[in-house]
């Protein structure tokens, strides 16, 4: 079963930052926070992952709280193509990916 | 395209028929995963291989389901005596292990049992 909790859905205005929260209060020391997203009718796509430091790549930024019990995925300038279901996953580097229901993000023009 | 490829993309079959799906992972990836996804749900884990060895099977994988990865490269997922409840998207993913790497997913095979 998924170990993280996320809001069911969120809206974001096009061009604004989308901030997607995730709670992972049971995360252990060797577990990472991974984010994937799934655009309608496509396979999931990896976005970013981190252990305890904040991470940034060309797609997004990941902010992890100091106690590691929660994190926020930030899409700095959301576009309509960012409309998708976003999954937050806690797992070790060798575990399989277990998906929860995720957050359905709608980017609104 | 050097990503994960799945074939076919769509399959319509009559109840009771057998179906087989194929997954070609990224070439150097030694792990291969199968997932099933129904409408409105997140993908559910079915099974995974490390090279040719099937290391884990979910309780969702009934005895009508069988997966193989005979040479540690491509994999097949067969469903025997299909039921309407088998209608779903079947996703394949691959990754490199050990190492802290992400899993790459294919576009899936959408199965409709009529």
* Distance separating alpha carbons of residues B68 and B57, to the nearest angstrom: 12
What is the arithmetic mean of pLDDT over A32-54? Answer: 94
Asked if A102 and B108 come within 8 Å (Cβ–Cβ), the reply is no
pLDDT digits (tens, 9 = 90+) for A49-80: 999 989 999 999 999 999 999 999 999 999 99
What is the arithmetic mean of pLDDT over A1-26? Answer: 94
pLDDT digits (tens, 9 = 90+) for A77-106: 999 999 999 999 999 878 889 999 999 999
Cα nearest neighbour of B88 on chain A: A41
Min Cα separation A43/chain B (Å): 5
A chain contacts of residue B99, beta-carbon cutoff 8 Å: 93
Contact between residue A59 and residue A72 where contact means Cβ atoms under 8 Å apart:
no
Contact between residue A18 and residue A75 where contact means Cβ atoms under 8 Å apart:
yes
* Distance separating alpha carbons of residues B31 and B12, to the nearest angstrom: 28
Tokens of A77: 């300038």
Q: Are strands A103-108 and A9-13 parallel, antiparallel or unpaired?
A: parallel
Question: What is the rounded end-to-end Cα distance, in angstroms, of chain B?
Answer: 33
Q: What is the arrangement of strands in the sheet containing B75-79, beginning at the earlier edge strand?
A: B5-7, B19-24, B75-79, B65-68
Min Cα separation A35/chain B (Å): 10
pLDDT the model gives residue A13 = 97
Query: If DSSP codes are grouped into helix, strand and coil, which group holds residue A67?
Result: coil
* Distance separating alpha carbons of residues A48 and A34, to the nearest angstrom: 6
Half-sphere exposure of A22 (CA within 13 A, CB side): 32
Residues in chain B, pLDDT under 50:
none
Q: What percentage of chain A has pLDDT greater than the value 90? A: 86
Residue among B48, B97, B105 whose CB faces A44 most closely: B105
pLDDT the model gives residue B98 = 74
pLDDT the model gives residue B1 = 53
């Amino acid at each position: 079963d998924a170990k993280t909790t996320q809001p069911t859905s969120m809206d974001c205005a096009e061009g604004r930052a989308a901030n997607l929260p995730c709670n992972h209060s049971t995360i252990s020391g060797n577990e990472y926070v991974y984010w994937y997203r799934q655009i309608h009718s496509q396979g999931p796509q990896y976005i970013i992952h981190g252990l305890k430091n904040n991470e940034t790549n060309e797609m997004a930024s990941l902010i992890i709280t100091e106690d590691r019990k929660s994190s926020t995925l930030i899409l700095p300038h959301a576009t309509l193509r960012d409309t998708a279901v976003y999954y937050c996953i806690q797992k070790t580097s060798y575990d399989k990916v277990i998906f929860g229901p995720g957050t359905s993000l709608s980017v609104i023009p | 395209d050097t990503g994960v490829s799945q074939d076919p993309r769509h399959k319509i079959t009559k109840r009771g028929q057998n179906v087989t799906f194929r997954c070609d992972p990224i070439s150097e990836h030694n792990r291969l995963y199968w997932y099933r996804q129904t409408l409105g749900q997140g993908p559910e884990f079915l099974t995974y291989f490390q090279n040719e060895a099937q290391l884990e099977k979910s309780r969702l994988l009934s005895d009508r389901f069988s997966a193989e990865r005979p040479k540690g490269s491509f994999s097949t997922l067969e469903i025997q005596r299909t039921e309407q409840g088998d209608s779903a998207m079947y996703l394949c993913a691959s990754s490199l292990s050990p190492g802290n790497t992400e899993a790459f997913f294919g576009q899936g095979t959408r199965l409709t049992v009529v």
